[in-house]
A = this chain, B = another copy of it.
Amino acid sequence: MKDFNGLVVPTFDDVLAAHERIAPYIHRTPVLTSSYLNALTGAELFFKCENFQKAGAFKVRGACNAVFGLSEEMAARGVATHSSGNHALSLSYAAGQRGIPCHVVMPRTAPQAKKDAVRGYGGVITECEPSTSSREAVFAEVQAWTGAEFVHPYNDLRVIAGQATCSRELLEQVEGLDAVVAPIGGGGMISGTCLTLSTLAPEMKIYAAEPLNADDAARSFRAGHIIADDAPETVADGLKVPLKELTWHFVSKNVADVLTASEDQIVEAMKLIWKRMKLVMEPSSAVPLACILANRDRFRGQRVGVIVTGGNVDLDSLPWMK
């Protein structure tokens, strides 16, 4: 950990410690390639397949690092979060592996499938009304009652150090990359990527890929300060959340550019990956390929790592069916 004018950020030593701590509970996911997509983009793409990760997403890396880093005493009281997405699944999985409780506050209106998935991984759901005030009030109650440790989905140095293990594996698996492209929502994965690459491969370019419909990171990047969107709507539902101070630290320091893609481009890229690579992955995970296709000149002839962040998608409601 390092102090930046009062902001405590994780260092690469934290990444090494995280990787050792979480190794028994995560997959070292494979890197896949597609000659079709290489021909289409004019680049050499290396897809790091976190859709094959435990609980179906990279977020299990950060969640495991947070859960397995707790003292026995803190662990006994469990962990808590508010999320209805991959962080809730991942934290439930991690807590289950350690045998401690995981409390998840979720709006009562969340889809039954998401509730079932969290319960399937052992999470205990407390429902709130679908409003920020209710969520905060219910979460405060749950925390007061259980004493559980709050693990934020991304603005948490334990979480960022965990996510950083993904690009460390990628560098071991593929030589001579020129760039890495990863989706950006709250910025946990991008921050972890920055943390690892700024130490191991500072010449490698890091691009954040964002839906145009939720382009708060792109606008923040250009403005030089955090801009939060008001309830953005995008098919890439994992990428709606805003940057926070920890992730902004990395984005503002280490990211080469924030690229954007339209909803149509995202869905088309998703379908291309499903069709050509035979991978089930989320709309959010297709944003990097969509941005590469929309910026071919920038990537032509380069070796590019692409983070496929997760595979938890509702098979009964695929975006091209709508």
Binding site for B on A (CB under 8 A): 30, 32, 49, 51-52, 56, 271, 274-275, 277-281, 311, 315-316, 318, 320-321
Knowing A30-B30, A280-B280, A321-B321, say if A275 contacts B52 (CB, 8 Å): no
- The secondary structure that dominates the A interface is mixed
Query: CA A281 – CA B315 in complex, angstroms?
Result: 13
Contact B320 A275 (CB under 8 A): no
Contact of A279 among B278, B315, B316 (CB under 8 A): B278
Question: Within 8 Å CB of A318, what residues of B?
Answer: 315, 318
Would you give the shortest CB distance from A50 to chain B, in whole angstroms?
A: 10
B278–A311 CB distance below 8 A: yes
- In angstroms, Cα B320 to Cα A30, docked, is 29
Could you list 24 examples of A-B contacts with CB < 8 Å? A30-B30, A32-B52, A49-B278, A51-B278, A52-B277, A52-B278, A56-B278, A271-B315, A274-B280, A274-B315, A275-B280, A275-B315, A278-B279, A278-B280, A278-B281, A278-B311, A279-B279, A279-B280, A280-B280, A315-B318, A315-B320, A316-B320, A318-B318, A321-B321
Report the bound CA distance from A73 to B80 in whole Å.
71
* Chain B residues in 8 Å Cβ range of A315: 271, 274-275, 318, 320
CB contacts (< 8 Å) of A320 on chain B: these are: 315-316
Distance of A295 Cα from B207 Cα, bound (Å)? 49
Note all chain B residues with C-beta closer than 8 A to A321.
Answer: 316, 321
Q: In whole Å, how far is A214's beta carbon from the nearest beta carbon of chain B? A: 24
A281 to B277, CA, bound (A): 11
CB nearest to A321 among chain B residues? B321
In the complex, what residues of B have CB within 8 A of residue A316's CB? 320-321
Give 13 new A-B contacts, CB below 8 A, not counting A279-B279, A280-B280, A316-B321: A30-B30, A49-B278, A51-B278, A52-B277, A52-B278, A271-B315, A274-B280, A275-B315, A278-B279, A278-B280, A278-B281, A315-B318, A316-B320
Q: Which of A52, A280, A281 has the most CB of B within 10 A?
A: A280
The 7 closest A-B pairs by CB, nearest first: A278-B311, A278-B280, A51-B278, A274-B280, A280-B280, A52-B278, A274-B315
Task: For A271, list chain B residues within 8 Å (CB).
Answer: 315
B residues within 8 A CB of A51? 278
Smallest Cβ distance from A271 to chain B, in angstroms? 6
Instruction: Write out the residue numbers on chain B whose beta carbons fall within 8 Å of the beta carbon of A311.
Output: 278
In the assembled complex, which residues on chain B have CB atoms less than 8 Å from the CB atom of A274? 280, 315
